[in-house]
Structure 1
Amino acid sequence: MTELNFKGKEFVYNHHLAVPFRPLMPDESKGIGPVALDGNLIIQGDNLHALKALLPLYAGKVDCIFIDPPYNTGNEGWAYNDNVNAPMIKEWLESNPIGIEDGLRHDKWCAMMWPRLRLLHELLSDTGSLWITLDDNEMHRAKQLLDEVFGLDGFVATCIWQKRFSPSNDEKFISTTHDYLLVYAKEKEVWARGLIPRTREQLELYSNPDGDARGDWASDNYVSNKSKNERPNSWFPITRPYDGKEIWPSPTAVWRYSRTQHKKNVAEGRVWWGEAGLNDVPRFKRFLSEVQDGVVPQTLWRHHEVGHNQGAKQFLKKLFPELDDVFQTPKPLELLLRVLQIASSKDALILDSFAGSGTTAHAVLEANRRDGGNRRFILVEMEDYADRLTAERMRRVINGYDFKGTLRTELLRERLIWRTISNAGELAHKVEAIENLHGHEYDRIKKEVKDSELIVTGEKTVAERAEGLGGTFTYCTLGEPVELDRILSGETLPSFDGIGSILFHMATARAFDPSAMRPDDFYLGNTEGQHVWLIYKPDIDWLKTPESALTLSRAKAFAATDPDSRHLVFAPARYVSQKMLAEQNVPVEFVPLPFALYRIDRS
């Protein structure tokens, strides 16, 4: 596989391993509801450190990752801040922010993304997927990075979404009206990909011109482009019922069905010869009730399906009327809802480590409202607006918010193709039905034609509060790094679960389950036939006593809980050798603190 080489790659290749673990520090005053690290989270801090902090609890558990990193246009003023111990990187840190004149800005972007993609891959579940929005500045480089992290088989698709509904006349050459969504899956063959609802255009293909009791149907080809030499058993005459005429496929084609299946199709009334019954070639009737509930997603996403940037910014202005300058490049809510339709089940965990204005979390709550789901979100934002914009958006969306203006709900969007125009009476009846059904819910029903589409919108003037979606979240910052070398000196003494979650993950490469932990017994948990123990208390005097050591009797007690499994014991000291444990058939392995983390890391 061809690899992408960029300046600094050798320094950042394994940098994610050197990033220290930091505890999540909840701030109850900034969240909604009780503190819960297994619920919705908004984390303020460097996303590289935040992703490392999430590993002990969430490794292999995230179902969908959506990220909207800097596009690296040269005008964003983003900074490369990773503290990599290399002279060249140190020099980079002094040349922030990164602008259009920086000849190494693409190398710096790759160096910034590489360790983050490595950690995101670790957090993703085997059935999960990663979605990343970009434009032409870095899309091709991002694909090469992702090919290397996920493997070539991890690539799913490059989706194109129409971010503008009209061209920009300010463009010098050609107006760019789209961005990209790169999609990768950890295990593509088992990726839990969902279907999306059929569009009105797709549903229009189904009708019931012959009054069939089985309901609406669409016609499908009865002819295959295979030749009679390739499929001789499918080249035979069939009889047209209206006049008994014998119909043959052309010499260069055959019927899609065998003689036996054709007879069955006739018996079931599935062969359609047109309204007059005189078509030269029949069609197959496929009923709407028989097809799957949705359709396979396509790679082209249009603005009227998934929203556009202008609409997203207008929404933020309504949500934050007190701010003169809101987030400049928010993603539309509908875009994230489409991603969730495809990539998440009702109980999925969604992660966005470049959270920005918080659209991802908003979409999670909106998706839950629509289908009764229990999806959870984790947002990470390092900028100072994490509290005043990202988290504040969620507070307002959850609780409701003061609003003065017009709330609009789209009730119908109909593409004006020839068929709809020729059946204008039917379309007018459909609009009239919407007015009768929903008229009492809105102050007015607006009907307009835009870009060859009829759009019917319910409008309601609100002068008090918009209704909230409900929900909770915990707001966190990142604590000081957990430095195991300083434990025995007493300079830093993390909690039992704080250090235990890190050690458990490093020893097993699995997420730590706090509910399995028993601090009084020094037990952390188990996975794949191995139990993990930690003899530790956040008490420097206790750590200096014999009570903190692994002894033969304690090793036997640990092993007795499950004699057929291996037992890994972290402890500051031991009074029994590994040789003696082996001689007495005690399946216990000792790992010393404070060097345990580094020993596991090297292995």
Structure 2
Amino acid sequence: MPTLHWIGKDKVINHHMDVPFKVLEHSYGFDNGTQTDQETNSGNKIIHGDNLEALKALLPEYEGQIDCIYIDPPYNTGNEGWVYNDNVNDPKIKKWLGQVVGKESEDLSRHDKWLCMMYPRIKLLHKLLSDDGAIFISIDDNEYSNLKLLCDDIFGYPNCIGPIIQNKMNAKNDTVNVQKNHEFIVLYRKKGTVTEGTKVNPSIINKQWITKEVFEEDGEYYYVNDSITTRGEGGILNARTNLGYTVYYNPETKEKIAIQDYDVELAKTSNNEDELYTTDENLVSLGYIPIRPPKVRGKLGCWTWSLDKFNDQQKEIIITGKKGSYAVKKRTFVEKSDVFGEEGKFFIQMISFGNSRSIINFSTNDGTNELNNIMGESNIFDNPKNINMLEYLISLIPNQNAIVLDSFAGSGSTAQAVLSLNKKDKGNRKFICIEMMDYAETITAERTRRVISGYNYSGNKKEVVSTFPINITTLKKADKIVNQYNELKQESKFKDVKIESSGNEILITGVTEIIDKVEPLGGSFDFYELGQPMFLKDGNLNELVGVERIRQYVYYTETKTPLTSSKHKDNKHFLGKHNDTAYYFHYELDEVTTLDHTFLATMKTKAEQYVIYADNCLLTKDFMTKHNIIFKKIPRDITRF
């Protein structure tokens, strides 16, 4: 498989492991309109800090737990003013620190910098993603090809299930030669989960409400599905020789019967209907019409139902069309209570499951207008994402309790999309948004507060107050028109009054302000800052982070699972039991701890193996081997990741 190489790749492949682990410090909670010092424990988080460090801080609680990731990283257009700041320990890369990444003709290493920035972040996102989760990455032509190969490297080429193309619907001469109307959404799953032999479960499913026409027969209601025929390469009689039976249909009585009236062995090679089939003339004489599978690319076709299934489940089959163009279709019966009538017809509404569209139409202007309305001012953030688009992408994840992560949160569009989607479909999704810039509080969090609580927004509406045809009569009463214009200017109803010409008319127009109330979405979130590192520069534990966070860190490094605060009857140093191994962290802030027989006597949990952390150990190697005890010295043996 092709691989991607760039300056600094060998230095950043494992850079995510060199980044110091920092804890998250709670700043405040926001619960349905009220800000508090207490954590809401809602699961919704906004984190202010470098996303590489923040992603690492999430690992102990969220590794393998994130169901949906959406990110909108810098597109590297040369006009964004983004800076490479990852402190990679290499002279070639250190010289990039703090420098604004330039344009194509000015900065020959601009793509290398972008890839060095993205690689460790995608690595951590891959760790956080659940096995059946999916990641969506918005990007444009500048880095699409590089991003695709980078994700192939981390996720694996077979796990690419995109791209989706966004039709922006508002191109404005983005380039000299081709007007760009699109952006890409690169889409990968964590891994394909195989069930039923070779079938891979879908990571994304498009669910949408559809309306189907319903028909009534003998007091029962049904809708019509597609024909029971195949159109693919394997859907020919040569390949599926037992599925070429003839359906004999009586248009008068509506009776139907399937008969295998052809040479099955000859069907392996022949595509001559006259040579292969023998029509049942007795049935024809009784008014039955033979219906055979339609041809596929000039070859004899076949049905998707077996002969026995057809004859056993005839009630589920309906013949539509007329002689010469009959279609054999499946029908699905529905409950009468689910059917509604409209203009003399019957209908049913239902959720349809299928594949996502490969091209989606969402205007980027709508994202800007929405943010302007929420914040009450214009141009506070460049290119915020379309909320409806994000709702659509998140809804593709077949889990209404999904945890959704956005590590390039920007204006907070993803948080709003999650809250909005939950309100629409009664879901219980959670969002985690990370933003390194200072506007994490003033824009990202403020936007989220406003949509949770509801907000007023003002818009302008241009009204035509008076019209006058352009002719001699109008010119004679010019003074009256001017007086009317001056009077309207004095009215508080209008913000702006103008006299304009349009075609063959003179218009007096006024602009009125519209105040609208947007209903609250409801919900809560907690705001965090990146706090202290877990380890000091000398390698010792940083006691300022607190013992409980140290315990959580140690348990995660051992089990790759989060430490839960469940009740137990063991000593206070017991962490938990995982895969029949009991873990203890014998640690005190103000004293040296020792693993000895006295400590063993306080342990209550029975397990096949024991992993015990302490400052010192007085047990013999033979004793520990005999009792399956593993001693780990603090801080030397605590894993750094």
Q: Does TM-score exceed 0.5, indicating one fold? A: yes
Q: 1:107–1:223: structure 2 CA closer, same or farther, 3 Å change rule?
A: closer
1:351 aligned residue: 405
2:65 paired with 1:61: yes
What amino acid is aligned across from residue 561 of structure 1 in structure 2? T
Flag the structure with higher strand content: 2
1:309 aligned residue: 364
Deviates more, 1:386-395 or 1:219-228: 219-228
Q: 1:54–1:230: structure 2 CA closer, same or farther, 3 Å change rule?
A: closer
1:330 aligned residue: 384
What amino acid is aligned across from residue 302 of structure 1 in structure 2? I
What amino acid is aligned across from residue 160 of structure 1 in structure 2? I
2:564 aligned residue: 513
What amino acid is aligned across from residue 467 of structure 1 in structure 2? E
Query: Given the alignment, which residue of 330, 334, 353 partners 1:295?
Result: 353
How far the C-alpha of 1:299 sits from its partner, in A, is 3.9
1:442 aligned residue: none
Give the number of the structure whose alpha-carbon radius of gyration is greater.
2
How far the C-alpha of 1:309 sits from its partner, in A, is 0.8
Q: 1:155–1:508: structure 2 CA closer, same or farther, 3 Å change rule?
A: same
Distance 1:519 1:140 in 2: 55
* Aligned partners of 1:223 and 1:253 also within 8 Å: no
Distance 1:272 1:74 in 2: 61
2:53 aligned residue: 49
How far the C-alpha of 1:587 sits from its partner, in A, is 2.6
2:97 paired with 1:93: yes
* Aligned partners of 1:535 and 1:569 also within 8 Å: yes
Moved over 6 A (4+): 209-212, 516-520
1:193 aligned residue: 203
2:135 paired with 1:84: no
1:471 aligned residue: 523
What amino acid is aligned across from residue 52 of structure 1 in structure 2? K
Distance 1:42 1:224 in 2: 49
The 3-state SS of whatever aligns with 1:499 is helix
How far the C-alpha of 1:169 sits from its partner, in A, is 3.8
1:437 aligned residue: none
Give the paired residue count: 525
* Aligned partners of 2:453 and 2:520 also within 8 Å: yes
Post-superposition Cα deviations, 1:309-361, rounded to whole Å, max 9, x if no partner, equal 1111100111111x342221111111111122111512221111111111111
* Aligned partners of 1:192 and 1:343 also within 8 Å: no
* Aligned partners of 1:56 and 1:502 also within 8 Å: yes
Distance 1:587 1:332 in 2: 57
1:587 aligned residue: 628
How far the C-alpha of 1:492 sits from its partner, in A, is 4.5
Q: 1:517–1:382: structure 2 CA closer, same or farther, 3 Å change rule?
A: farther
Q: 1:148–1:578: structure 2 CA closer, same or farther, 3 Å change rule?
A: farther
2:121 paired with 1:116: yes
Post-superposition Cα deviations, 1:520-577, rounded to whole Å, max 9, x if no partner, equal 611222322222221223x3xx224xxx22222213533x411x33222222223334
Cα RMSD after superposing both structures: 3.1
Q: What TM-score does the superposition give when structure 1 sets the normalisation length?
A: 0.79
How far the C-alpha of 1:210 sits from its partner, in A, is 8.2
Distance 1:121 1:42 in 2: 20
* Aligned partners of 1:572 and 1:592 also within 8 Å: yes
1:397 aligned residue: 451
Query: Given the alignment, which residue of 205, 208, 217 partners 2:224?
Result: 217
Post-superposition Cα deviations, 1:398-442, rounded to whole Å, max 9, x if no partner, equal 1112323499xxxxxxxxxxxxxxxxxxxxxxxxxxxxxxxxxxx
Query: Given the alignment, which residue of 420, 423, 436 partners 1:382?
Result: 436
2:618 aligned residue: 575
How far the C-alpha of 1:228 sits from its partner, in A, is 4.8
Distance 1:11 1:269 in 2: 63
Q: 1:194–1:86: structure 2 CA closer, same or farther, 3 Å change rule?
A: closer
- 5+ residue gaps, structure 1, are 408-460
The 3-state SS of whatever aligns with 1:302 is strand
Q: 1:526–1:258: structure 2 CA closer, same or farther, 3 Å change rule?
A: closer
2:110 paired with 1:105: yes
* Aligned partners of 2:206 and 2:356 also within 8 Å: no
Q: What TM-score does the superposition give when structure 2 sets the normalisation length?
A: 0.75
Distance 1:173 1:348 in 2: 42
Distance 1:567 1:372 in 2: 44
2:415 paired with 1:361: yes
Distance 1:354 1:315 in 2: 19
1:132 aligned residue: 137
Query: Given the alignment, which residue of 272, 276, 285 partners 2:319?
Result: 272
* Aligned partners of 2:48 and 2:436 also within 8 Å: yes
1:144 aligned residue: 149
The 3-state SS of whatever aligns with 2:356 is coil
1:286 aligned residue: 331
* Aligned partners of 1:154 and 1:184 also within 8 Å: yes
Distance 1:331 1:405 in 2: 20
2:10 aligned residue: 10
The 3-state SS of whatever aligns with 1:554 is helix
Q: 1:167–1:272: structure 2 CA closer, same or farther, 3 Å change rule?
A: farther
Q: 1:217–1:76: structure 2 CA closer, same or farther, 3 Å change rule?
A: same
Distance 1:502 1:232 in 2: 61
1:480 aligned residue: 532
Q: 1:485–1:210: structure 2 CA closer, same or farther, 3 Å change rule?
A: same
The 3-state SS of whatever aligns with 2:22 is coil
Q: 1:556–1:118: structure 2 CA closer, same or farther, 3 Å change rule?
A: farther
* Aligned partners of 2:533 and 2:545 also within 8 Å: no
Flag the structure with higher helix content: 1
Distance 2:49 2:404 in 1: 18
Distance 2:290 2:83 in 1: 71
How far the C-alpha of 1:113 sits from its partner, in A, is 1.0
1:565 aligned residue: 608
* Aligned partners of 2:29 and 2:39 also within 8 Å: no
- 5+ residue gaps, structure 2, are 195-200, 253-286, 336-348, 462-512
Distance 1:462 1:398 in 2: 22
> What is the aligned-residue identity percentage?
31
* Aligned partners of 2:189 and 2:203 also within 8 Å: no
Q: How does 1:521-536 map to 2 (within 5 A)?
A: 521-536=572-587
Distance 1:578 1:324 in 2: 70
What amino acid is aligned across from residue 591 of structure 2 in structure 1? L
